[in-house]
Structure 1
């Protein structure tokens, strides 16, 4: 895969919000469901998802920026730098070209060591060279990898908040248990490794690319990790102040409103929103809507007219 920053089209110093925005734009543009006639869209979609798996995770992003993992998120090979080998300095540790031809430095009284050193580094596959011959000229790629499959999982806000484990049937009829990832956003695709199509000749199976769809909620709207909701405030409590019970995704909580609280005032209930990747939670922003008791409309209208000096 290309450099994840290039894939998402963001700078190395981009904020978490910019990275998420870039990912969601690419995922929406290249999603296979929207590009059924474009075979290359699936590859671009998978590439954007793989890039976000690295840059969307603070730990993995740090590892990538420090050079500890490569563009595919795999640990980089270590141990070669500084090896002085057979000739002294770091600059001439190995003459790979000559050694691959069996013409490299020889131990005293010994034969060529090119094949031996490559067999040590890369395994017997180099020595045997597969069916086509030995040494570097016969080195071949491993078995082909199985194809990826695409699937969707619809979840409720309650399931996101609870990070619940859900049973999902993948294309082909395979049942798997999936834990709703912490900090997931609508439209995000997660990679379930090894759950795609099997590969021929005992190769590595493909992956399942699972797109998360967060279902609309009757009471809450989502703003990142925060939630917004409107709560009904009785007129007496709005005038005099008092306790107000507010429903959240994880149960009902009680807060106090001050006297003379009007409609449209927003209160922040910290930690009652959705989970973030770092384990913290967003807030619930509760907006008041003052409600009048039944039968009070006429009395209030008459009172208002009396204040304004209007006739009955």
Structure 2
């Protein structure tokens, strides 16, 4: 089915319009929402396959140019077999022309019969005429949570045909990396090998943590008195809260390092670090007592932290 028709959009639709149309169909026709609605389920499957193709700008452009079909597979070079069959250097060229075959299966059967004749008839496959081909690799995209990417986890994805597939998320996987599930792709022909499922991971952002390689960075707000006097304060980490010591005279931007509290390293029994960036936050309201104290302190102890700053 044409992917634009499956989503009910025109071929000039923007990416936002395509996404909106897909979300509408998911809300109306997802099998989990409308169990037993076969028509709705078929509509959802078609829309999912269409969206998987059209949301990728490169795939969409290739489809529009006719280079791939609606399933994302390469379109065959229709004239290659015709040209090759009639070429003078074709070792299997005989009196029967390419146009004499009713379809390509007849052509391949004849081709492989000739090859088997030279091998003494070995390797005959009655079902596929001796032709074998590996299944195609199927590509998918999967958004995972920040925590699952950092520590590992598992989830299930729904394929365009409605089937589900369990995906083990390796700990430490980064945004844009690919998980390969061997044998979970397209079906083979004859004695070929099943294709693989290639799942490109997109890591969702976290409200507190930011990833920097194998390290985790978090901004920790502290009060003025904690910065001046020092303190023991609690800081969140991806494996639970821990206490850190804020040194006396701490400044905003100062970074404390927590060893082994970062991202789990793939294939290793080790983890990166957590970087705790301090940020001094003034009280929501400055009362007269604090203002008078600071004014008196400034008279006796003023200093210029911007000294030496020149353009």
**Interval containing the TM-score (normalised by the shorter chain):** 0.5 to 0.7
1:33 aligns with 2:22: no
Please say if residues 157 and 249 of structure 1, whose CA atoms lie closer than 8 Å, have aligned partners that are also in contact: no
1:34 CA displacement: 3.4
Q: Hey, what does 2:218 align to over in structure 1?
A: 229
1:176 CA displacement: 1.7
Q: Which moved more, 1:131-140 or 1:221-230?
A: 131-140
> Following the alignment from structure 2 to structure 1, what is the Cα–Cα distance between the partners of residues 266 and 220?
28
Q: Which moved more, 1:179-188 or 1:133-142?
A: 133-142
Q: Hey, what does 1:154 align to over in structure 2?
A: 143
Structure 1 residue ranges without an equivalent (≥5): 1-31, 42-129
Please say if residues 161 and 250 of structure 1, whose CA atoms lie closer than 8 Å, have aligned partners that are also in contact: no
Q: Hey, what does 1:291 align to over in structure 2?
A: 281
> For residues 64-213 of structure 1, what are the structure 2 equivalents within 5 Å?
131-132=113-114, 133-134=116-117, 136=119, 143-201=132-190, 203-213=192-202
1:306 CA displacement: 3.1
> Following the alignment from structure 2 to structure 1, what is the Cα–Cα distance between the partners of residues 136 and 280?
57
Q: Hey, what does 1:250 align to over in structure 2?
A: 239
Please say if residues 149 and 171 of structure 1, whose CA atoms lie closer than 8 Å, have aligned partners that are also in contact: no
1:272 CA displacement: 1.2
**In the alignment, which of 293, 303, 308 is matched to residue 303 of structure 1?**
293
Q: State the TM-score, normalized to the length of structure 1.
A: 0.54
Please say if residues 151 and 172 of structure 2, whose CA atoms lie closer than 8 Å, have aligned partners that are also in contact: no
Please say if residues 259 and 272 of structure 2, whose CA atoms lie closer than 8 Å, have aligned partners that are also in contact: yes
> Following the alignment from structure 1 to structure 2, what is the Cα–Cα distance between the partners of residues 298 and 227?
40
Provide the secondary structure at the position in 2 that maps to 1:176: strand
User: Could you list the per-position Cα deviations for residues 117-139 of structure 1 after superposition, in whole angstroms to 9, with x for gaps in the alignment?
Assistant: xxxxxxxxxxxxx7443564867
1:240 aligns with 2:229: yes
Provide the secondary structure at the position in 2 that maps to 1:151: strand
Provide the secondary structure at the position in 2 that maps to 1:184: coil
**In the alignment, which of 242, 249, 269 is matched to residue 260 of structure 1?**
249
Please say if residues 234 and 293 of structure 1, whose CA atoms lie closer than 8 Å, have aligned partners that are also in contact: yes
Q: State the TM-score, normalized to the length of structure 2.
A: 0.54
Provide the secondary structure at the position in 1 that maps to 2:241: strand
1:234 CA displacement: 2.7
> Following the alignment from structure 2 to structure 1, what is the Cα–Cα distance between the partners of residues 184 and 207?
34
Structure 2 residue ranges without an equivalent (≥5): 1-54, 69-111, 124-129, 301-311
- Relative to structure 1, the CA distance from residue 236 to residue 203 in structure 2 (aligned partners, 3 Å threshold; closer, same or farther) is same
Instruction: Count residues in correspondence.
Output: 194
Please say if residues 151 and 171 of structure 2, whose CA atoms lie closer than 8 Å, have aligned partners that are also in contact: no
> Following the alignment from structure 1 to structure 2, what is the Cα–Cα distance between the partners of residues 185 and 220?
14
> Following the alignment from structure 1 to structure 2, what is the Cα–Cα distance between the partners of residues 241 and 182?
36
> Following the alignment from structure 2 to structure 1, what is the Cα–Cα distance between the partners of residues 284 and 161?
57
1:150 CA displacement: 1.4
- What RMSD over aligned residues (CA atoms) do the two structures have, in Å? 3.2
> Following the alignment from structure 1 to structure 2, what is the Cα–Cα distance between the partners of residues 289 and 271?
22
1:151 CA displacement: 1.0
- Relative to structure 1, the CA distance from residue 213 to residue 198 in structure 2 (aligned partners, 3 Å threshold; closer, same or farther) is same
Q: Hey, what does 2:101 align to over in structure 1?
A: none
Please say if residues 148 and 171 of structure 2, whose CA atoms lie closer than 8 Å, have aligned partners that are also in contact: no
> Following the alignment from structure 1 to structure 2, what is the Cα–Cα distance between the partners of residues 190 and 302?
61
